[in-house]
Structure 1
C-alpha cells in the first residue's frame, strides 16, 4: 500500500512536483526524513516548519503511524495580508 503526498505553495516549489507516492507503514517523522533525503535541503527546510494534514485532519503527532492509503498534505507557512 502507498501513501499519497501532496505539496502546496513553497513545498511544491522545493519538491519540484505537486504530488508523489511513498511507501506506507511509517510515521510522519520517518516519511519527512525520507522526503528530505530524496529532494534535498530546500524541501528539508520547508518540512521542518510545515503543517501536515492526514486525510484532511491536522496531524500534530509526528511519531504516530500513518494509515495505509492516506493522503498527506504538506502545508508550508503562508504569508497573508
Structure 2
C-alpha cells in the first residue's frame, strides 16, 4: 500500500499528520481520497502541490501508482 508523506503546509492542512497509508490507483484518485479524509483545506493545498513518487517528480496525475510507492506531497514554498 502506498505511503503518503506530507511536508510544510500540506502537513498542517492534514491536521499535523506527517505520513499515512493511502491506497489509490493514481494521483487524481489519491487527491480525492485525501480530500475526503482530511477536508477541503487539504484539498486546496493538493491542487497546487507537487508530488514525488518514489523520489521522482510526477507530472501525470492519471499515471498508475506503484503498489508500495512513497508519495511526497510538496506544497508551493515561498522565499528563496
**For the residues of structure 1 that align with 2:59 and 2:23, how far apart are their CA atoms?**
21
In the TM superposition, what is the alpha-carbon distance from 1:23 to its structure 2 partner? 1.7
Give the superposed CA RMSD. Answer: 0.8
The two structures have a TM-score, normalised by structure 2, of 0.95
The two structures have a TM-score, normalised by structure 1, of 0.94
**For the residues of structure 1 that align with 2:22 and 2:77, how far apart are their CA atoms?**
25
Residue in structure 2 matched with residue 19 of structure 1 by the alignment: 19
Aligned length in residues? 79
In the TM superposition, what is the alpha-carbon distance from 1:39 to its structure 2 partner? 0.4
Aligned with 2:36: secondary structure?
Answer: helix
More strand by share: 1
Residue in structure 2 matched with residue 63 of structure 1 by the alignment: 62
Runs of 4+ with >3 A deviation? none
Runs of 5+ consecutive residues of structure 2 not aligned to the other structure: none
Runs of 5+ consecutive residues of structure 1 not aligned to the other structure: none
In the TM superposition, what is the alpha-carbon distance from 1:20 to its structure 2 partner? 0.4
Aligned with 1:23: secondary structure?
Answer: coil
